[in-house]
């Protein structure tokens, strides 16, 4: 049995806690959503999926040199949206601002680095975001969902989000929600 893995930017615990406080505030108002656990919040760079134990080190050896020219940078949380669209939302996300060119370049370098290991290129463009909830059932009250998002505004004015490393996570899917475990991380050092 293989591992289910992804490469991501882990969030500082202070930011996870701030988002968690806001999730608790609005959870009762939005029963049709399954909210992310604060400790699971991250910025996904590349979903790898099924991964063998031997590939874990191979991924590190591929990613490390591929991102060696990328310097640490800063992002900020900015705005809200839904995927795929407002008529039929499935995912509620927080947008990102700041050094988006650096983030997109980082995701591209990682995506290219793992192709030789058998992980396919993404079929769609990279859309930087932070998933905070998923729609559990048909939820057509999009106006109400988006109107409630004003509750999130203040804690997201928490200053810059430093991006200093890339982490490989293992995801164990459970009935109570996924459990993410860090397998390794690589620092940005250019």
Catalytic residue among 42, 61, 86, 139: 42
Closest CA to 162 of 8, 6, 11: 11
The Cβ of residue 65 has, within 10 Å, a number of other Cβ atoms equal to 11
Catalytic residue among 61, 69, 129, 139: 129
Half-sphere exposure of 94 (CA within 13 A, CB side): 25
**Known active-site residue 129:** yes
Q: For 43-66, give the DSSP string.
A: EEEEEEEEE-HHHHHHHHHHHHHH
**Known active-site residue 139:** no
CA separation for the pair 126, 136 (Å, rounded): 24
Residues with a catalytic annotation lie at 42, 129
């Amino acid at each position: 049995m293989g591992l289910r893995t992804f490469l991501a930017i882990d969030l500082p615990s202070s930011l996870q806690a701030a988002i968690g406080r806001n999730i608790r505030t609005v959870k009762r108002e939005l029963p049709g959503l399954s909210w992310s656990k604060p400790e699971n919040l991250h910025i996904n760079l590349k979903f790898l999926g099924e991964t063998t134990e031997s590939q874990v080190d191979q991924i590190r050896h591929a990613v490390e040199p591929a991102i060696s020219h990328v310097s640490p940078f800063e992002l900020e949380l900015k705005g809200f949206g839904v995927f795929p669209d407002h008529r039929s939302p499935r995912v509620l996300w927080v947008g990102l601002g700041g050094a988006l060119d650096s983030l997109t370049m980082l995701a591209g370098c990682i995506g290219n680095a793992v192709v030789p290991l058998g992980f396919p290129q993404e079929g769609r463009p990279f859309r930087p975001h932070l998933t905070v909830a998923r729609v559990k059932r048909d939820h057509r009250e999009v106006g109400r969902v988006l109107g409630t998002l004003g509750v999130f505004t203040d804690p997201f004015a928490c200053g810059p989000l430093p991006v200093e490393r890339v982490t490989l996570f293992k995801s164990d899917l459970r009935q109570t929600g996924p459990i993410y475990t860090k397998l390794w991380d690589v620092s940005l050092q250019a």
